Amino acid sequence: MDNRVSAGSAANAFERARFTGTASEYFGIWIVNVLLTIVTLGIYSAWAKVRRNRYFYGNTVLLGRAFEYHATGKQILIGRLIVFAFIVVANILATIHPLFSLVTTILVLIALPWLIARGLRFNARVTSYRNVRFDFTGTAGGAFVSVLLGGFVAFLSLGLLAPVASRWLNRYILNNLRYGNRPFQTDPRVGALYGALVVPALIVVVGAVLVSTLGSTMIGWLQAYKADGVRSELGDALTAVGLYAIFFTVFIVYGLASIIYRADVHNMVWSSTWIDGRHKLRSDLSPVRYAWIAISNVFVTVLTLGLMRPWAAVRLARYVAEHTAIRIDGEIGEVFTQIQTTGAAIGAEYMSMEGIDFGF
């Protein structure tokens, strides 16, 4: 009896992912990528992206197996050249005649959703796990609504409709994602997403008060030293300090609010996601810890002139992986054997796709 209970508990347990890479290993890849990208005037950046992704995918381990990234630098370079050519043509048309600006705007609105959908499809199809490729079936129309319209709605509402936009975006991405031929499904509740907005909103309010206070103080300094020629240099210095303090406060406050909101939404979306209606995902990031890692990574990277960037990237990847888990319904080997029989044969043409690479 005890053995049966134990086996049942083990079958229903969540298995966490792991990140096995190290900063020292990635530093070697990163420094070569940087140097070759500089020497080739940016051309090598396509191959640098491939090397970076293969390292991070290959060191993300779930249920004892790592993910794989199959894109090539040539594919990504072609994709970037296509996007670059479109931008050049649009700008040339805009300079020929002002009326063409309207045409280029319409072209961008038509092309951008297509590029987003195409990019998501490319990234899914060059990713595999246990020799089974992922796929993405979203349309350009869906990208327009979820990405462009959603972002526009969130902006116009001053963030009040950001949870609605977040729901549109994540449902578009995950509900169109496939592992082999097995669909992902997610349906995060709007009420829960609005709950995630409470703390960031309070942070923004406190930040607005701080910025207002700093602004008032700076105005006082300007008035105090405006007519005093002897102390004008001190007034200019204090004004500069005030401006830097305002900029720094805005950066920290709004960056912190955004990161905390994103971490909470990530948890809610992933924890409401199923694969094939059977296998449950979960994320339990600590928003405060995640924000600390993200913000401190930025400061450490800046203070070291970029040399600690590999350490920062590995640090964040490890934290996210360790707080992501899956619960498989059934015996693991049997489940993936069934998926492989259908998933392995999907899309031999994937590798011929252009590398337009909008990430998840």
Percentage of residues in the chain having pLDDT higher than 70: 84
Least confident range from 78-82, 302-306, 309-313: namely 78-82
Instruction: Say how far apart CA 30 and CA 36 lie, in whole Å.
Output: 10
Residue 351 banded pLDDT, cuts 50, 70, 90: very low
Is the pLDDT confidence value at 271 over 80? Answer: yes
Average pLDDT of the segment spanning 337-353 = 55
Is the pLDDT confidence value at 350 over 50? Answer: no
Average pLDDT of the segment spanning 240-246 = 73
Average pLDDT of the segment spanning 23-32 = 97
> Any bridge partners for residue 8, and if so which?
none
Q: Which residues contact 2 (CB under 8 A, 6 or more apart)?
A: none
Is the pLDDT confidence value at 223 over 80? Answer: no
Residue 45 phi/psi, 5-degree rounding, is -60, -30
Strands 60-62 and 273-275: unpaired
Q: In this structure, how many other beta carbons lie within 10 angstroms of the beta carbon of residue 171?
A: 17
Instruction: For the chain, report the end-to-end CA distance as a whole number of angstroms.
Output: 45
Closest CA to 266 of 314, 315, 320: 320
Mapped onto helix, strand or coil, the DSSP state of residue 317 is helix
**Radius of gyration of the chain from Cα atoms?**
24
Q: Which element (helix H / strand E) includes 215?
A: helix 190-225
Is the pLDDT confidence value at 265 over 60? Answer: yes
Residue 235 banded pLDDT, cuts 50, 70, 90: low
pTM, to two decimals: 0.84
Q: What is the pLDDT of residue 352?
A: 44
Length of the chain: 360
> Any bridge partners for residue 186, and if so which?
273
Residue 231 banded pLDDT, cuts 50, 70, 90: low
